[in-house]
């Protein structure tokens, strides 16, 4: 069982979308018994809250189940997960401060393996227009597909 978590700032836009996307890919590949997929935020503002309605709308339009409730990453998540994907470099820095050094090798940038564009970050859409959310969807879909195929080959390595 591979245990994976996606981490952004608020846990209401980028990371819950990645979680729903990866769950769909895993289901389509009949691999649900082999994966546990979760998401969290480095911030605490949206604990227990549903995702941003703009992100839910785009996800559902694309047949994703957007049912996550916000949670904040804690130090024991370093133990609990095998792969921790940070949605941008700010969050990666914060994650590395929260979890123990012995688990730092599990922390990857979500766009580390991306084949398109020249940024390593999934842009924070929270204060953006709807087009920002559409852009996040495109980036998240492409990278979840790349990451799933690498995970299946045990090739998620730095």
Residue numbers of the site for ligand 4NP (CB under 6 A)?
8-14, 45, 124, 126
- The partner residues of 6 in beta bridges, in order of sequence, read 39, 85
| Cα separation values, 158 from 45, 54, 61, Å | 31, 33, 34
Any catalytic annotation for residue 79? no
Spot the catalytic one: 38, 52, 121, 124. 124
Any catalytic annotation for residue 13? no
| Closest approach of ligand 4NP to the CB of residue 8, in Å | 3
Any catalytic annotation for residue 14? yes
Phi, psi of 60, deg, nearest 5? -65, -35
Spot the catalytic one: 8, 38, 111, 144. 8
| Closest approach of ligand 4NP to the CB of residue 141, in Å | 15
CA–CA separation, 77 and 95 (whole Å)? 10
| Closest approach of ligand 4NP to the CB of residue 4, in Å | 17
What number of H helices and E strands is found in the chain? 5, 4
Q: Tokens 């390595």 appear where?
A: 157
| Closest approach of ligand 4NP to the CB of residue 38, in Å | 14
Instruction: Report angle CA 148, 6, 145 to the nearest 5 degrees.
Output: 20
- If phi over 0 gives left and psi between -120 and 50 gives alpha, with beta otherwise, what is residue 154? left
Spot the catalytic one: 14, 23, 54, 111. 14
Comparison of 12 and 139: residue with beta carbon closer to ligand 4NP? 12
Comparison of 12 and 64: residue with beta carbon closer to ligand 4NP? 12
- The partner residues of 8 in beta bridges, in order of sequence, read 41
Comparison of 29 and 53: residue with beta carbon closer to ligand 4NP? 53
Q: List the catalytic residues.
A: 8, 14, 124
């Amino acid at each position: 069982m591979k245990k994976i978590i996606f981490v952004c700032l608020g846990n209401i836009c980028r990371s819950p979308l990645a979680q729903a996307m990866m769950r769909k890919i895993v289901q389509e590949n009949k691999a649900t018994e082999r994966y546990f997929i979760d998401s969290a935020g480095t911030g605490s503002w949206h604990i227990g809250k549903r995702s941003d309605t703009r992100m839910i709308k785009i996800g559902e339009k694309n047949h994703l189940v957007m049912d996550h409730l916000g949670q904040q990453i804690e130090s024991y998540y370093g133990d609990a997960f095998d792969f921790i994907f940070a949605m941008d470099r700010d969050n990666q820095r914060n994650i590395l401060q929260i979890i123990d050094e012995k688990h730092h090798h599990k922390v990857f940038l979500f766009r580390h393996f991306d084949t398109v564009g020249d940024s390593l970050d999934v842009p924070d859409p929270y204060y953006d227009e709807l087009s920002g959310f559409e852009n996040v969807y495109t980036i998240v879909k492409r990278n979840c597909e790349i990451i799933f195929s690498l995970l299946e080959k045990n090739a998620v390595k730095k």
